[in-house]
Amino acid sequence: MTGRFSVSNLGARYGRAVVLHDVALPALRDGEMLGILGPNASGKSTLMRRLTGEMPGPGDILLDGRTQREHGREGWRRAVAAAPQTPPAPSALMPTELMWSTARALGLALSDAELAARIEGIFDELGLGAVALSPLATLSGGKRQLVGLALALVRNPTLLLLDEPTSALDLHWRLAVLDLVRRRLRAQGGLVVAALHDLDLAARYCDRLAVLHEGRVLAAGCPAEVLTPDLLARVYRVEAEVSADPEGRPVVRALRAIDPGKGD
Amino acid sequence: MSEREATLLNRFTRIKRRRVHLAFALALGLIAVFLLDLSAGPAALGLGDIVRGLFDPGSLELRDRIILWDVRLPDALIALAVGAALGLAGVETQTILDNPLASPFTLGVSSAAVLGASVAIVLAPSIPAVPDHAILPALALLFALASGGFVLLVVRVSEGSRETVVLFGIALVFLCNALTAGFHMVAEAEAVQQIVFWTIGNLTKAGWAEVAMVFACVAVILPFSLRHVWLLTLLRGGEAHARSMGIDIARLRTMVILRSSVLAAFAVCFVGAIGFIGLVAPHLARLMFGEDHRLLVPGAALCGALVLSAASYLSKALVPGIIIPVGILTAVVGVPVLLLLLWRARRRA
Ligand SMILES: Nc1ncnc2c1ncn2[C@@H]1O[C@H](COP(=O)(O)OP(=O)(O)O)[C@@H](O)[C@H]1O
Ligand SMILES: [Mg+2]
């Protein structure tokens, strides 16, 4: 089977500012995870917003042989779920209520008992059981980020989009979340696209990487091809050493910033 | 199903059940306050007479029957309807603008209504097919709806930006107030007094037709609000999430502002710009029902009705023989309640 998911010629703009140019992403096969790398403001979140369908623009997004448009708004909503970079707002709402209203607003065909079981299962995996009925405002930023992930998982999507899912998490949960995502891919297949800040985590968990720089893809492919000292110098403006771990995946050690005063 | 899985559902259900019980208690309280409101007034008509007269009008003397059915019932009922309309409009506006201080009034609806009333009082225009006594409410309604229309236009142009909408609403309030002040300048003293009296708000001018119109407005709009309760609830989780689910926030915002503008316009056009109900009722409801809009939306309507009904009772009972304009009471009672709620919310956050 060839790719289940591919993206080409993708563009995006805010008003007159074009922030994505002709973006093409490596095709993904079932069970694969794609990492989107790139410095701040390189367009990662915008790419995610194009993939969720919330933002219009040119380009071809293909999932299981059909374009985003052919899936239709409802079809895309059933197949794709995203955890945006901003975690759920700190309101008086309880995580369970938020999960529940999301599932019901989107029309998930589950009985109350099934829905409760699914929510509880996800909360258990994400360590949210103890705060399931506490106001979101009383949760830490990290916990709220986990609720954001839970909101995407409760929909059980084919394509899971994660925008910096680990940025507010401590070391344990950073690994635990990505482990969970991989476990899910192994167990039930599907696809994941994740914008990631941490190069080593990206190299370790992703099958494919694409590096964005000022709205263009500068490199794409498997981690060992993509993460080279050359590219790190160009995109992140750091001098870095790249070695390989025992399983052959690249490990990056940034040594120093290149010309911190000067622009590119 | 494992025992733990049953637990979340059980615990969640228990919370929901408690809230439903609270809603029933609120409804009972509302009936009690409504009867109390009916029993208050210059004429000596006790609670017993009232209840008897409600179920068997023939049992009352003609004079008492007229007082109950033509004076007190319309006043008491319009308090319920206006309170419910303002509570409902308030809660939806607060959620959609993610702003606990928002209400339809902050978007200019009531200021526009006051301006419309001022036009009617000062210029006393005659409109074909509108009887003279209906010109004031008609113009108040027209101006209020027009201001709602402007706000909707801005929602559209700004693609649903919250900040723009709120800023435009504030600008609209200032503009209407300035124009109303202009009318004060040129008006006779008596007209100014009339404008001020209308601005404060009072319930005693209502008849059955007005009651029916405000109730009809609430009855038509409430089902549309209830259809949006899931969306409104999930919106409390933040705009980014709602957008990522492909929810059209600008459209939702447009519909909510349309609904609450119409509700607020109908609420104020007959009884004047009764303040603070649209602000306080949603906060009271949130204390009881949390953020789950399935109960919060109807709960805010109930709270609004209860608060205005209580204010109506107090306006008659506080100083025997004198009816204080109800708007003064809602402000005098509403401000401290609001401060208390905000202080509590701040302490909890
Ligand atoms: N809502 C917006 N309106 C205007 N410009 C935006 C908006 N969101 C992002 N941008 C701009 O688009 C570019 C890409 O931003 P973003 O996709 O958030 O990058 P990243 O997620 O990689 O940090 C940045 O230059 C940013 O300033
Ligand atoms: Mg981003």
Q: Do A98 and B9 touch (CB under 8 A)?
A: no
Task: Look up tokens 């200019």; give the residue.
Answer: B108
In chain A, what are the domains?
5-257 (3.40.50.300)
pLDDT in tens, B208-228: 999 999 999 999 999 999 999
pLDDT in tens, B154-204: 988 887 788 899 999 999 999 999 999 998 888 888 888 888 888 888 888
Is the Cβ–Cβ distance between A5 and A202 less than 8 Å?
Answer: no
- Comparing CB atoms, the residue among B11, B98, B233 nearest residue A97 is B233
Is the Cβ–Cβ distance between B262 and B145 less than 8 Å?
Answer: yes
Task: Look up tokens 């899985």; give the residue.
Answer: B5
Residue A262 has pLDDT above 70, yes or no: no
The pTM score is 0.91
How confident is the model at residue A2, as a pLDDT? 64
**How far apart are alpha carbons B17 and B185 in whole angstroms?**
56
Residue A1 has pLDDT above 80, yes or no: no
How confident is the model at residue A261, as a pLDDT? 60
pLDDT in tens, A104-125: 999 999 999 999 999 999 999 9
Q: Angle, to 10 degrees, between the axis of helix B3-39 and the axis of helix B47-55?
A: 100
Give pairs for B53-57: CB < 8 Å, separation 24+.
none
Collect all residues with Cβ–Cβ distance below 8 Å to A94 and sequence separation of at least 6: A132, A133, A134, A135, A136, B290, B291
Nearest atom (ligand 1) to Cα of A164: 21
> Best of B96, B162, B234, B344 to disrupt the A interface by mutation (most A CBs within 10 Å)?
B234
* Residue of A13, A18, A19 to mutate, ligand 1, most atoms within 8 A of C-beta: A19
Residue nearest to atom 24 of ligand 1 (CA): A41
**How far apart are alpha carbons A113 and B298 in whole angstroms?**
25
Nearest atom (ligand 1) to Cα of A42: 22
**B245 CB neighbour count, 10 Å cutoff:** 22
Which CA distances in Å does A109 have to A116, A119, B6, B226? 13, 14, 19, 20
How confident is the model at residue B123, as a pLDDT? 87
| Ligand 2 mean position, distance from CA B241 (Å) | 14
What single-letter DSSP state applies at residue B72? Answer: I
Strand order in the sheet with A60-63: A17-28, A5-14, A60-63, A66-67
Pick from B306, B302, B316: nearest CA to B71: B316
In chain B, what are the domains?
25-348 (1.10.3470.10)
Band (B6; pLDDT cuts 50, 70, 90): low
How confident is the model at residue B5, as a pLDDT? 46
Please report, to the nearest 10 degrees, the dihedral formed by the alpha carbons of residues B4, B7, B9, B15 taken in order.
Answer: -150
Q: What mean pLDDT do residues A8-25 have? A: 95
Say what percent of chain B tops pLDDT 70.
Answer: 97
Q: Is A18 in the pocket of ligand 1 (CB under 6 A)?
A: no
Residue B292 has pLDDT above 60, yes or no: yes
Q: In chain B, what residues touch A81 (CB-CB under 8 Å)?
A: 244-245
Band (A258; pLDDT cuts 50, 70, 90): confident
**How far apart are alpha carbons A167 and B300 in whole angstroms?**
38
**How far apart are alpha carbons A37 and A39 in whole angstroms?**
7
Q: Do A116 and B9 touch (CB under 8 A)?
A: yes
ipTM over 0.85: yes
Residue B1 has pLDDT above 50, yes or no: no
Q: In chain A, what residues touch B236 (CB-CB under 8 Å)?
A: 89, 91-93, 98
How confident is the model at residue A260, as a pLDDT? 63
Is the Cβ–Cβ distance between B91 and B159 less than 8 Å?
Answer: no
Q: Do A124 and B4 touch (CB under 8 A)?
A: yes
B98-121 burial code (b ≥16 CB/10 A, e <16): eebebbbbbbbbbbbbbbbbbbbb
* More reliable by pLDDT, B224 or B58: B224
pLDDT in tens, A204-249: 999 999 999 999 999 999 999 999 999 999 999 999 999 998 888 8
